Structures are given as structure tokens and as C-alpha cells.
Structure 1
Amino acid sequence: MVKYFSSKKYGHERGLSAAFRQWKADSHCKYVHGYSLEFEFKFGANELDERNWVVDFGGLKELEKWLRNHFDHKTLVASDDPELSKFRNLDDDGIIQLVVVESTGAEMFAKMAMEYSAGLIQKHYGERCWVESVTVREHGANSATCSI
């Protein structure tokens, strides 16, 4: 059986500049740092639509909006970070735009994006297609992928 795949990339140049820290790390990753993150979504289908597409790239505006709401000039902090209250104060004072997440790091950001995009694709396309994987790149040397 033939399978089709397509991908959509929101590259570093899109300016999804997010700051975060891995508070459990023993390395310098325990400090707040940031990247212009890149997200790449791989979509799969067993059959193409009437336009011979897996998904309509122009119809992914909701996905880009979600990415901007979660990663564009945001500070992401894990819900179990012992310093969360300090980050909340910074947010209250208008110094940061806080997004509290389950956990931080490229792996967890890929998981978050996978879960959101899978629901979005299901809503718009039903069972015909799916999200095969999501890759998040901090920069050229570091990336993480979440897949089904």
C-alpha cells in the first residue's frame, strides 16, 4: 500500500523566540536561556485529497497561531519548577510572557506540538491523514522528534 507524506516547517527565521530552563539539569541548561525554535511537522496519508494533497498548507493558520501563542517571545516554565512563583511575579509585572507547561525542553515542546497538531488534523481531515512526527530544533546541532 502506498503512503504519502508532506511536511511543513516553521523555521528559525519565523522568530519563535522562546526562553526556558531545565531546572532539574546539573549543567548550564538549568539557567534561563533561549532559542529561535524551529518546528517541522510531517503529515501522512494513505490517500490524497481531491487536489492531490496530503494537507492544505494554506489551511494551517490555526497551527501557526498556536505556535505563536506558545513560543513567540514567551518564557516557558515547568509546572513543577520550584521557582515558578518568581516567574509568575515577572509575568504579573509585565517583564515576561509566561507559559506554564508540563515540562521544558525540545522533546517536550515536540510532544506538545504533536498533541495539538494531531487534534487539529483530526478535526479538519478525519481519518484520512495524520501527524507522523514533529521535530523541534533549537539550532543546527540540537533537535528532538516526537512521532507516532
Structure 2
Amino acid sequence: MHTCEKIYTDIPMGHVQHRHPGHCSFVHGHNWSLTLTFACEELDHLGFVIDFGGIKFISQWISEHLDHACLFAKSDAEGLKMLAAFPHLFKPYILDNCSAEGLATHLFDVFDALVRKESANRARLKSIKVGEDSKNFAYFEK
């Protein structure tokens, strides 16, 4: 198996851990990073796992959905009420679990589907590393 890696850095996002007993229960933000590891069995006609110049669709997706977004869990009733009351204050992104681990799991499925589609199933996402900052990371792989 061949692999390669692409890193996206300085993605400003907020989130709230509504069940956390400490300060993470407040809306707060980080400069997130995403490290995507791609894999394939056979290289393409250029000798690449994936052409880094040909995956702008990923950075566009990140810009559209995550850049300056605030992550909320579907189970966060108070957060969802706040969004309904003040929709102009947030670029919401709602998912099952807005921890770094939950975001890694969610984004793995999103990016794997995009990569498989764009490569006609030749390449896939092998793993994702999500960093809240320069010290705290979560990983997901299949």
C-alpha cells in the first residue's frame, strides 16, 4: 500500500462541550489542524497516491463548512436554542459529537467519500489527525 499526507492548518473554529464539567462547557475556539493520510494500492498515471494539486475540493469544503464555524452537538439543546435565537452570530456546523474525536470520526467519513468519488475509488482516506491546537490531537482511521 502507498500512502501520502496533506496537512491543513490554522482553521479557526469554535465548539462547546455541553456535557463537560469544566471550562470546556463554555463556547471557545481553537486554531485547528487536519492531517489527512491517503492510501491506494496502485499509483495513478503520474505516480501519485493523490495529486496534491488536484484535491482543492478538500480545502474548498473546509473553507465552506469549517472556517470560522462553531461546532455544536446534536444533543446540545441549549446550544441549539442559542443558534435559533441568534442565527446571525454563528456559522454553525452541527454533528453528533463536537469533541476532537467526534470531529475526526465525522470528517473521516466526509473526506473519504469525497476522495473515493474524485479518484473513481482508486484512492481512499486511510486516517485523519485532528488538532485542537499544537498540543492536543485526536486520530481516527479505518
Query: 1:42 corresponds to which residue?
Result: 37
Moved more, 126-135 or 16-25: 126-135
> How far apart, in 2, do the equivalents of 1:119 and 1:145 lie?
18
Q: CA deviation at 1:124?
A: 1.7
Q: How does 1:44-59 map to 2 (within 5 A)?
A: 44-59=39-54
Query: 1:104 corresponds to which residue?
Result: 98
Q: 1:22 aligns with which of 17, 22, 28?
A: 17
> How far apart, in 2, do the equivalents of 1:88 and 1:145 lie?
32
Query: 2:2 corresponds to which residue?
Result: 4
Q: 2:86 aligns with which of 82, 86, 90?
A: 90
Residue by residue, what CA displacement relative to the aligned partner does 1:77-99 show, whole Å, maximum 9, x if unpaired? 111102111122221xx122222
Query: 1:133 corresponds to which residue?
Result: 127
Identity of aligned residues (%): 27
> How far apart, in 2, do the equivalents of 1:102 and 1:85 lie?
16
SS in 1 for 2:64: helix
Contact 1:88 1:98 in 2 (8 A): no
SS in 1 for 2:49: coil
Q: CA deviation at 1:126?
A: 2.9
Q: CA deviation at 1:119?
A: 0.6
Q: Could you list the runs of 5+ residues in structure 1 that have no partner in the other structure?
A: none
Normalised by the length of structure 1, the TM-score is 0.89
Aligned residues: 141
**Structure 1 residue 80 corresponds to structure 2 residue 80:** no
**RMSD (Å), alpha carbons:** 1.2
> How far apart, in 2, do the equivalents of 1:69 and 1:80 lie?
23
Normalised by the length of structure 2, the TM-score is 0.93
Q: Could you list the runs of 5+ residues in structure 2 that have no partner in the other structure?
A: none
> How far apart, in 2, do the equivalents of 1:147 and 1:28 lie?
29
SS in 1 for 2:86: helix
Residue by residue, what CA displacement relative to the aligned partner does 1:54-94 show, whole Å, maximum 9, x if unpaired? 00111112111211222211111111102111122221xx1
Instruction: Give the residue type in structure 2 aligned to 1:85.
Output: K
Instruction: Give the residue type in structure 2 aligned to 1:31.
Output: F
